[in-house]
Amino acid sequence: MAAVRGQLSEDADGMDGTEGNAAADAAPLPFRTAVDALRAARLRPEIEIEPTRAPKRLAPHAYALEAAVVDGDEDLADGRLVLLHDPAGHDAWQGTFRLVTLVRAELEPEMAADPLLPEVCWSWLTGALEGRGLSYGEPSGTVTRAGSHYFGGLSNRAPASQIEIRASWTPREGLGGVPDTAAHLAAWCDLLCQVAGLPPAGPTDASVVSLPQRRGPQPS
């Protein structure tokens, strides 16, 4: 998953911490239970996922995962999901847990020019959560479009466009004050696959459309 590490090396919003996920093993029981559910989750075969360094500035306890949607040797989309926990609660979260994410994917320039693209991508996040029947609160985030044009020694490369979703939300806590983190992870992977342009794993609304991606070999 070198592509994921490379693309996410310049994290923002405090997602560049160095606290190891091993610290989760010494955390309060609700957080350990939530992390165990993340570790045990079973996901689509196109998803490659592994733990990564968790931030240390956002909350007393944190656990992070990075993932990529892989087609052969090509990463179609990648991202990071961070679980935060503050046993004392957090006014901005309206809870003791918070999920923070960054998702990135390349897409065709004409798709990037669609004025409705940001709204559509944000609706994919909320739709993924609601599609799993999840209760959540205080959602916030940004959807960013970026384009690259190449010149000089790189002029043989085709223009590239990228979509980036940064978001956070508060998962509602269930029995023992623990949210259903496995279901939230599955919803996040639904979003990742949709941004990557993959068809849904199960039945879905026929009006839901995935982004066409740049899947062909790219000049180097």
Within a domain: 172:
yes
Within a domain: 66:
yes
Question: What's the number of domains the chain is made of?
Answer: 1
Q: Decide: residue 179, CB within 10 A, 0-12 exposed, 13-18 middle, 19+ buried.
A: buried
Which of 2-11, 181-190, 199-208, 210-219 has the weakest average pLDDT? 2-11
Within a domain: 162:
yes
- Mind listing the pLDDT tens digit for each residue in 55-77? 888 999 999 999 999 988 788 89
- Mind listing the pLDDT tens digit for each residue in 18-65? 444 555 567 889 999 999 999 999 888 889 999 999 988 899 999 999
Q: pTM above the 0.75 mark?
A: yes
Which structural domain, as residue segments, surrounds residue 144? 2-148+158-196
Query: Average pLDDT over the chain, rounded to whole?
Result: 80
Could you tell me if 55 and 98 are in contact, meaning their C-beta atoms sit under 8 angstroms apart?
no
- Mind listing the pLDDT tens digit for each residue in 82-109? 999 999 988 999 999 999 999 999 877 6
Within a domain: 18:
yes
Give how far the C-alpha of residue 163 lies from the chain's centroid of Cα atoms, to the nearest Å: 12
pLDDT number for residue 31: 96
Within a domain: 119:
yes
- Mind listing the pLDDT tens digit for each residue in 137-163? 999 999 988 877 778 788 888 777 888
Within a domain: 220:
no
